[in-house]
Structures are given as structure tokens and as C-alpha cells.
């Protein structure tokens, strides 16, 4: 159960029997049931014929009726070893985070790293930015596609390109206002936001709220001040 999609795979004595994939949506418990039923139908099986149901991923605790929960890191390693017994490294570009996993004998996890502080390199972010920049993501050549998309993501482009991306999205979706978060932990992202705010105000005439905070240091967050600024911003939209 991932951050963006729900997947199911059914294994038997003969090997891989069926797979299914759907968007997870907001109800992950229901999504887990749907994707499991799709895989069961594909395999021609019923739920009571499943000897053990293992839940993994970001939403694994929301999978009803699971017999066991395992982290996606362990499952990635075991799954990669199943498909390629000589595997040594797995790179997972997930919807919410990205991981690098060192795999040993039998699919055992030897070590791993993950970007749990920034979403800039995740699959969903790459998809959004690739669409905004009109860059194709070719599943048949994923490394070239990811490199092409990642070099064009928001924090890796110049200020005029950032302005173009935001202005294009604002006009495309006919937004009434823009809320921007200045994350003080991410300097490449936050340094240009005051310029972006001023340029968008002048170019599009939109009300813009720039909220400053930090994802690591709570001392930089003032709830009362933020509430006042949000209330004033909402009044500007009326």
C-alpha cells in the first residue's frame, strides 16, 4: 500500500500468479480490498484460498485482515531477488520518498538510505514536474527519463523557469490565490520565493500568502501569527 498506488501480488508454488495496481485514493483500507479482489479475480482464487496475507508500504497498517506487516524496504529486496537472483542494489523512486537498498544473499537487506527529509526526488514530484515541463517519462528507459525529469525539477531550474511553471499552473487551473510555504530547511527552494511572490502578484494580480516555517525547527513556526495571516488571506479571496 503505497503513498500513491495500491499494489497486490499473489504467489503460489508455481511462482507469480497475478498482479494488480490501482490508485490508492483517500481510503486506503478500501483500496487494499479493491486491489486484492482484482488480483484474486485474475488468479481465479477466493480470499479463503490465500494462506498468508502480508501488508507492506506506507499504508500497511490500514490493510484489513493482514496476517503480517513488513516494511517496503524488506519487500523491495526480496522481490528484486525473486525477479533477479544476482541483484545487489535496488533504487526505489516512490510516491513519497526514494530509497537505495543494498541486497545480499537470499534477498537480505544489508543496508539502505532514504530521503526522508525532502520530497523533491520522489516519483509523484517527478511526474508533476515532468508534466509541467512537458517532458515524457519513458517506462522503457527509466533512468534516462528520470535524469531528464530530475534536471528540470523546480529547485534545479532558474528563476524565470520557476515563474513560468507556477504561472502556467495558476492560469491552467484558474486559481483564485496562491499559498506558498517558505521552508527554511531547504534553502534552494525558499531563497527565491519572495521574488516569485512579487512577480506573480504583478503578472497575474493574484493574492499570495507566503508562510514561513521549518520542517525541523518548530521555533520558527508561530501558530497564532499564521492563523491571522491565513484569515486575512481568505478575506482577500472573498
User: What's the mean pLDDT in 174-193?
Assistant: 81
Q: How far is CA 225 from CA 198, 213, 231, 238, in A?
A: 21, 11, 10, 21
Tell me the CATH number of domain 1-70, given options 3.40.50.880, 3.90.1300.10, 3.40.50.300, 3.30.420.40. Answer: 3.30.420.40
1-70 and 158-237: identical CATH topology: no
pLDDT in tens, 90-102: 988 777 677 889 9
- CA-only gyration radius of the chain, Å: 22
The pLDDT, as a whole number, for residue 130 is 64
Cα dihedral: 131, 136, 142, 143 (round 10): -90
The 3-state DSSP class for residue 8 equals: strand
Which phi-psi region, left, alpha or beta, contains residue 62 (left: φ > 0; alpha: ψ -120 to 50)?
alpha
pLDDT in tens, 108-129: 999 887 765 555 555 556 666 6
Largest Cα–Cα separation, the chain: 65
Q: What is the CATH number of domain 158-237?
A: 3.40.50.11900
Q: How far apart are alpha carbons 154 and 49 in whole angstroms? A: 48
Query: In the structure, what pLDDT confidence band is assigned to residue 202 with cuts at 50, 70 and 90?
Result: confident
The pLDDT, as a whole number, for residue 55 is 93
pLDDT in tens, 2-32: 877 899 999 998 889 999 999 887 788 999 9
Amino acid at each position: 500500500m503505497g503513498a500513491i498506488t495500491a499494489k497486490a501480488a499473489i504467489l503460489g508454488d508455481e511462482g507469480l500468479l497475478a498482479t494488480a495496481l490501482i490508485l490508492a485514493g483517500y481510503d486506503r483500507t478500501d483500496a487494499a480490498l479493491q486491489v486484492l479482489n482484482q488480483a484474486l479475480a485474475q488468479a481465479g482464487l477466493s480470499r479463503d484460498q490465500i494462506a498468508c496475507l502480508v501488508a507492506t508500504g506506507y499504508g500497511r497498517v490500514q490493510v484489513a485482515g493482514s496476517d503480517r506487516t513488513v516494511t517496503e524496504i524488506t519487500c523491495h529486496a526480496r522481490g528484486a531477488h525473486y525477479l533477479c537472483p544476482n541483484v545487489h542494489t535496488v533504487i526505489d523512486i516512490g510516491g513519497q520518498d526514494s530509497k537505495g537498498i543494498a541486497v545480499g544473499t537470499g534477498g537480505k537487506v544489508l543496508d539502505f538510505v532514504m530521503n526522508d527529509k525532502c520530497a523533491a526526488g520522489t516519483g509523484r514530484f517527478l511526474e508533476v514536474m515532468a508534466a509541467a515541463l512537458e517532458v515524457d517519462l519513458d517506462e522503457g528507459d527509466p533512468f534516462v527519463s528520470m535524469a531528464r525529469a530530475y534536471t528540470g525539477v523546480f529547485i534545479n531550474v532558474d528563476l524565470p523557469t520557476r515563474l513560468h511553471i507556477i504561472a502556467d499552473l495558476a492560469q491552467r487551473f484558474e486559481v483564485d490565490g496562491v499559498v506558498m510555504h517558505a521552508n527554511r530547511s531547504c534553502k534552494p527552494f525558499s531563497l527565491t520565493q519572495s521574488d516569485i511572490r512579487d512577480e506573480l502578484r504583478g503578472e497575474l494580480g493574484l493574492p499570495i500568502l507566503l508562510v514561513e516555517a521549518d520542517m525541523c525547527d518548530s521555533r520558527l513556526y508561530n501558530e497564532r501569527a499564521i492563523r491571522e495571516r491565513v484569515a486575512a488571506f481568505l478575506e482577500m479571496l472573498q
